[in-house]
Amino acid sequence: MSGTVTVLAVDDQEVFRRTARRLLAAAPGFEQVGEAASGPEALRLAAELRPDLVLLDVRMPGMDGIETARRLARSGVGATVVLISLGELPDPVSLRSVGAAGCLRKQDLSVRALDRAWAAATGGAATDAPRGRSAPP
Amino acid sequence: MASSVPEVRRLPAQRELRVASWLRAAGAAALAAAVAAAAFLAVDGVRREPAVAALAAVLVAALLLLLAQRSAGRALASENRRLTAAAATATRELRASRARIAASAERERRRIERDLHDGAQQRLVALRIELELAEELIGRDPSLAAERLRELEREVDEALEELRALAHGVYPPLLADRGLVEALRASAAHAALPVELDATGVGRYSPEIESAVYFCALEALQNACKHAAGADRVAIALDGRSGWELRASVTDDGARLPAGRLAPGAGITNMHDRLAAVGGRLEIGPAPGRGCAVRIRVPVPLPVRRPPGRPR
Ligand SMILES: Nc1ncnc2c1ncn2[C@@H]1O[C@H](COP(=O)(O)OP(=O)(O)O)[C@@H](O)[C@H]1O
Ligand SMILES: [Mg+2]
């Protein structure tokens, strides 16, 4: 299973978490290992599950996605963070400054878009054999 | 809550004005005496004592008139100060109320944006993604794809219902289409307590007036359902018979309100502000016997349309 990208999906909206489940179930090479409804929950689960990829909603009440991304980067869990947002996307500079590898508009999410985002974020080619990182214990 | 119009009390300057008018009257009398004495002198020829008396009378008259003048001046100045202070207070209260209205409109817009973002918008985006997934599924597993599509249809219905409810909260379509009575009747039907609605002589008014009265009555109804201890029912009465003022009352039969004023929260403050914006007033107090009565009055221009079946 070393080729599979493990994913943690984070969104405060139940509707969207369900969609993420279906999307990830339909995406070859990706496997959802957990979901979180808030920033703090995401931090906890990321430390516990060590996912390769965190799909992180930007707009959440309390700790928002930007802040969560910053803390994820600082916590050293080593996950690749891709921000997703319904509205405008954060600009690349602030993306990098919080340690996020990329961003996607929610309405553009699809199996292919996920593939491309992963490839771009990890500097690899778009792939149906995504290069997963072996999660440290 | 303090009413926003300064109270008309007995003028504090009244006493001084009265003194001024006495002095003026006395001065006029003295002057008349002096004129009479002078006239008498003119007929009788010059004699010393009456001339002195006339001169004294003129002097007294002049003095009294001068005093009257000063007293009246002081009275006016103090009256001016009082009015200026009252106007400043009224202006300050008006400004504060206007700022609260603006802030609450702003809050309302933010709430609507959030509701749209968290509700319909999320659903539609989710639908967009899932439709694409279903599309791919059709080739692989047509029956599962069909089931998915049916699910997505329900999702569309939910999104529609959410949008409808949101639009309703922004401006109830019934209020625009059918007016206050019908809109309140419809809302009352969903209230947690049974509501008896009684309306006489209520026509159509400007949207500002109708929505102010509607939202205030609704807030009062919600308060009755939420706060009135042991209430069994609520009575809403609308009365537009006077033609120049619309009155509304919302009365519950809950426990008697404790003496003293209610501590107004956001709901009651909002009611005050919305009504103030259309020149209306709000009174909240114990209802006769038991419970709480909310009384609303709004001045209205002549009704646009009279309710059918009512003479003149
Ligand atoms: N019908 C009522 N019966 C008893 N108490 C009431 C009634 N309406 C309002 N109150 C009191 O007035 C308070 C302020 O009401 P409001 O400004 O609408 O704020 P809220 O409803 O959010 O508490 C309420 O908390 C309640 O204690
Ligand atoms: Mg209330």
Asked whether residue A44 is assigned to any structural domain, the reply reads yes
Residue burial A53-80, b: 16+ Cβ < 10 Å; e: rest: bbbbbbbbeebbbbebbbbbbeeebebb
Q: What is the pTM of this model?
A: 0.61
Q: How far is CA B95 from the centre of its chain?
A: 14
**Lookup: tokens for A16:** 């969207």
ipTM of the complex: 0.78
Would A10 be classed as within a structural domain?
yes
Judged against a pLDDT cut of 60, whether residue B283 lies above it is answered with: yes
Q: In the β-sheet with B195-200, what is the strand arrangement from edge to edge? A: B195-200, B234-239, B245-252, B292-299, B281-286
3-state SS assignment for residue B287? coil
pLDDT per residue as tens digits for the range B39-89: 666 666 656 676 777 788 788 888 888 888 888 888 899 999 999 999 999
In which domain, by residue range, is A31 found?
Answer: 5-109
pLDDT for res A128: 47
Q: Which residue has a Cα nearest atom 9 of ligand 1?
A: B223
Q: How many Å is the Cα radius of gyration of chain A?
A: 13
pLDDT band at B266 (very low <50, low <70, confident <90, very high): confident
Total domains, chain A: 1
pLDDT of residue B3: 42
Q: Which residues contact B296 (CB under 8 A, 6 or more apart)?
A: B213, B216, B217, B220, B247, B248, B249, B250, B271, B275, B280, B281, B282
Confidence at residue B133, expressed as pLDDT on a 0 to 100 scale: 93
Q: Can you tell me the mean pLDDT for A56-71?
A: 94
| Chain B residues with CB within 8 Å of chain A CB | 117-118, 121-123, 125-126, 128-130, 132-133, 136-137
Look at residue A23 and tell me if it is in a domain.
Answer: yes
pLDDT score recorded for residue B11:
53
Determine the atom of ligand 1 nearest the C-alpha atom of B269: 17
The verdict on residue A22 lying in a domain is yes
Q: Tell me how far the alpha carbon of residue B227 lies from the centroid of ligand 1, in angstroms.
A: 6
DSSP secondary-structure letter at A124? S
Q: Are B304 and B203 in contact (CB under 8 A)?
A: yes
For domain B179-302, the CATH class is alpha beta
Contact A16 B130 (CB under 8 A): no
Q: Mean of the pLDDT values across residues A22-30?
A: 94
Specify the CATH number for the domain of residue A100.
Answer: 3.40.50.2300
Q: Which residue, by CA, sits nearest to atom 15 of ligand 1? A: B265
Q: Has residue A132 been placed in a domain?
A: no
If 0-12 CB within 10 Å is exposed, 13-18 middle and 19+ buried, where does residue B91 land? exposed
Each domain of chain B, given as residue ranges in start order, spans 4-105, 179-302
Hey, which residues does B96 pair with through a beta bridge?
A: none
Cα angle vertex B132, ends B128, B133, to 5°? 115
